Amino acid sequence: MRIKKFLPYLVIALICTPFLASAAIDPGGGWGIDEVVELIDKASTWMYAIGGAVALIVVVIGGISYMTAGGNEDRQKSAKKTIITGLIGAAVILMAGVILDTLAKFLI
C-alpha cells in the first residue's frame, strides 16, 4: 500500500512540528529549567494530540478493513492485527504522557 511508504516521513514531520513551532527563544537569557520544562510540555501536548489522532485513524482503518473482509479469514486476521496495533499505540502514548508529566514534576 502507498501509505506504508509515506508513513515514516509523516511521523518524522509530525515529531518535528512542535519543535519548529516553539523555536522562538530569548537569545540572551539562556535556558533555565523552567524553559526546558515548558518546551517539553508544549512538545508533549502536540505529540499526544498527533499520536492519538494517528492511533485513532489506525483503529478506524482496521475496523473498516474488518467490516469489508467479506468472510475472508486472512483479511480478518490482518484487520484484527491493525486494530490491536492502533490500540497498543494509544496505550504507549498514554504511558509516555504519564512518564513526561512525572518527570516534569520532579524537575520543577
User: Rounded mean pLDDT of 49-67?
Assistant: 92
Mean pLDDT of 58-81: 93
Residue 14: predicted pLDDT = 66
**What pLDDT is attached to residue 25?**
55
Among candidate residues 82, 94, 79, 108, the one with its CA nearest the CA of residue 7: 82
Q: Distances in Å between the alpha carbon of 10 and those of 15, 44, 46?
A: 9, 17, 14
Average pLDDT, the chain: 79
Number of C-alpha atoms within 13 angstroms, CB side, residue 19?
5
* Region 2-19 average pLDDT: 66
Alpha-helical regions (H) of 22-72: 33-67
> Under 8 Å CB-to-CB from 36, ≥6 apart: which residues?
107
Domain ranges of the chain: 40-108
**3 state SS of 76:** helix
What's the pLDDT at 105? 75
Predicted model pTM? 0.62
96 confidence band (pLDDT: 50, 70, 90): confident
Residue 101's pLDDT band (cuts 50, 70, 90): confident
